[in-house]
Chains A and B, each alone.
Chain A
Amino acid sequence: MSQLAALVKVTRVDLSYFFRTKWLILTLITLNLSDMFVVGLVYTNMMNFDYFVFYVPGVIIAGMFAAALDVGRRVHLGLSEGVSQYYLSLPLSLNGLAFAHILSAGLGGLIFSSILLVVAFSFVHGLLSLSTLAMIPFMFFVSMGLGGIAAVINLFSGGGDRFWAFAEGVQMALLGMSTVFYPLPAVESIMPWYATIAIAYNPLSQIADALRSAAASAPLSSYSLATISLTSLLMLFIGFFCYRHVFSKVRLLGKI
C-alpha cells in the first residue's frame, strides 16, 4: 500500500462527508445561484456596467471558501471525536494525513465553486468559454490554499465548537479585505495604502478578478495567475504545517 494510495483513500473519506450532506449542498448551491441571478441580473439593469459578470465570481469564491471550510470542519469533528486517533494508527505518515485533509478541502471547494461557475455562466449566453473554464485549475490552487486556512483554524480553535466562530471571523476578514464583492478603485478610496496592497494581493481578489477578466474575454495576466498560484501555495504550506502540528499535539496529549 503506497503512501499516495493511502492519502487518496483518506481524502475520499473526507470528501464523502461532503457528498453525504448532498441535500444541504444542493440547497446551498441553489441559494447561491438564486442570489447570483436575482442580485446580478437585476443590478445589471440598474447600473451602467455588467454587474452580473462582476457579482457571479464573487459568489463563486465565497461559495468555494465556505465549502473548503466545511470540509475543514469535518476534520475538526474528527479530531474531537477521536477519528484522528484512528487515522494515526493507520499505515499513513503524518505528512500524508496532513496533506490528505488539505486536498479534500481543496477538492470540496473546487467542486462547489465549479458547479456554480458552470451553471451561472451557462445561463448567460457567451460567458461560459474556454478562458473561463481554463480558470478551474487556478480555482483549485486557491481552494487548496483555503484548505490550508481551515488547517490554521483547526490549530487555533482547539476542541469544542469554536471552529465555526473562528471560521466565520476569518471568512469575513478575508472576503472583506478583498475585491470579491467590491472593485479595487472603490476600496482604494476608503482604505489606507497598505490595506489596499494587502487587498490587491489577496488570492481571493486575484482569482475573482481573473474570473471577471475571463468572463469578459479580456486577456489573462500571467502575473496575476502567478500571484494566485504562489499565494495559494503559501497558504497551503502554512496549513500543511498547522495540520502536522495538530496531529503531533494529538500524539503528545491524546487530544486537541
Chain B
Amino acid sequence: MSFAVETYDLTKRYGNFRALDRLNIKIETSRIRVLLGPNGSGKTTFLHLISTVLRPSEGTASVLGYDIVRQQLQVRRLVAIAFQDPRGFWRHKPKHILSFHASMYGVREPERSKIVERTLKEFELWDSKDKKFMDLSGGQAKRLEVAKLFVSPPRLALLDEPTAMVDLDGKRLVWDKIKELSERGSTIIVATNEVREAEYLADKITIFSSGKDVVTDTLSNLKDSVRGGDVVDLEFAEPATSFVVEIIRTIPGTVGIIEVDPRHLRVSVTRSEDWLPIAVKHLQGVRIQSIHITEPSLDDIFMTIVKPRKSVA
C-alpha cells in the first residue's frame, strides 16, 4: 500500500492555540479521503500545511514522497488546492483565472484554451465566462475554485468544503466531478462538515476534533465499530425514568444510550435482532409508543464522536 500523505507529529500553533496537535495520519494513494469535523477542528489547517501554504510549527509530512518543509516546490508541482473561500483575482474573468492556473502548471496553448472552455462548460460556468470574478454568485465562485483543479489535474487534489454555498444540483455536479478526478488517478482529500458529502464521496473517513484525528476508517467499519451495529430508537408515552434507563443498560448487547429528549432514548446495540426480544420482556409495564431500528448513519457516528449529546449510559 503506498501513501500519498504521511504526517509525523504534524503540529501547527497560532500563539498558544494548537490548531493541529501532533497529527500522525496516512492517506492512501488514488483514494478519496474525507476529513470530517466541526469548524475549528483543524481540517483546513491540515490542508494548508500539506499544500505548503502554511509552515508547520513542529513535525513534518511527506507528500507524494516530498517533505513539505524542505521540498516545498516539488510538493507544489504535484498538489493543488481549492480553498474554502474562493481565491480569485477580483477583476478577472473566469476564463482568465482558469487559464492562469493551467499555465502555472505548464499547460500550453492552444490546448489550454480548449481545456478551459471544456472545464467552464462542465462546471456550468460557460454563460458566466465573461463576468468578472467579483460579479459571480457565491455558488459560481465556489464552482470556479473547484474547477481550477480540473484544468491541470494534480496528483494530489485538496478540496476545502467544496460545496459550501453551492446549491443542490451544483453539489451533485461537484461530487461527480471529484469522483471522476479520483478515477483518473488523483488522490483526493476533501475537508467538510457535511455528513452527506462524506457519505457520497469517501473511500475512507477521518474524523477530526480539536486539532486531532479521532478515528479513521471506512464508512461501513465506522458504522459497525463506533457504537455497536444498530441503533434502536425508543419513544415512550411518558418521560423515561432512571429506573427504565437502568433496565435498558443491563440488557445484554446494550452499547450506549443517548437521551434525545426525555421521552426518546436512542440505544446503540450490537445486534438488534438479539437485543429487542429481551428488551421487550424487560420493559413490560413501561408504555412504549414506538420502536425504530436503523443502522447508525454517519451523522450518528459524527455526533457521537465529535459532539456527544447527553449520554446516560
Chain A residues close to B by CB (< 8 Å): 1, 6, 9, 13, 16-17, 20, 81-83, 85-86, 88-93, 248, 251-254
User: Chain B, 99-120, contact with A by CB distance < 8 Å: what is the 0/1 string?
Assistant: 0100111100000000000000
Number of interface residues of B (CB under 8 A): 27
Can you give 19 contacting A-B residue pairs, CB < 8 Å? A1-B77, A1-B103, A9-B103, A20-B91, A81-B87, A82-B83, A85-B83, A85-B87, A86-B83, A86-B87, A88-B52, A89-B79, A90-B76, A91-B76, A91-B105, A93-B73, A251-B53, A251-B55, A254-B48
Contact A16 B14 (CB under 8 A): no
A91-B77 contact given A1-B106, A82-B87, A86-B87, CB 8 Å threshold: yes
CA distance A16 to B96 in the complex (A): 11
Q: Is B131 an interface residue (CB 8 A)?
A: no
Interface assignment of B286: CB less than 8 Å from any CB of chain A: no
CA A16 to CA B93, docked complex, whole Å: 12
| Interface of B, helix, strand, loop or mixed by DSSP | loop
Q: Does B87 lie within 8 Å of A83, measured CB to CB?
A: yes
Contacting residues, chain B, for A82 (C-beta < 8 A): 83, 85, 87
**Interface residues of A, dominant DSSP:** helix
Q: State the CA gap A9–B48 with chains docked (Å).
A: 23
Does any Cβ of A come within 8 Å of B81's Cβ? yes
Q: Which residues of B contact A86 (CB under 8 A)?
A: 83, 87
Question: What residues of chain B have their CB less than 8 Å away from a CB belonging to chain A?
Answer: 14, 48, 51-55, 72-73, 76-77, 79-81, 83, 85, 87-92, 100, 103-106
Min CB–CB distance A5 → chain B (angstroms): 8
Check A89–B100 contact: CB distance below 8 A: no
Contact of A89 with B52 in the complex, beta carbons under 8 Å: yes
CB distance from A34 to the nearest CB of B (A): 28
- Across-interface contacts of B103 in A (CB, < 8 A): 1, 9
Closest Cβ–Cβ distance, residue A7 to chain B (whole Å): 11
5 A-B pairs with the lowest CB-CB distances in the bound complex, closest first? A1-B106, A86-B87, A91-B76, A251-B55, A91-B77
Chain A residues closer than 8 Å to B104, beta-carbon distance: 1, 6, 9, 90-92
Q: Which residues of B contact A6 (CB under 8 A)?
A: 104
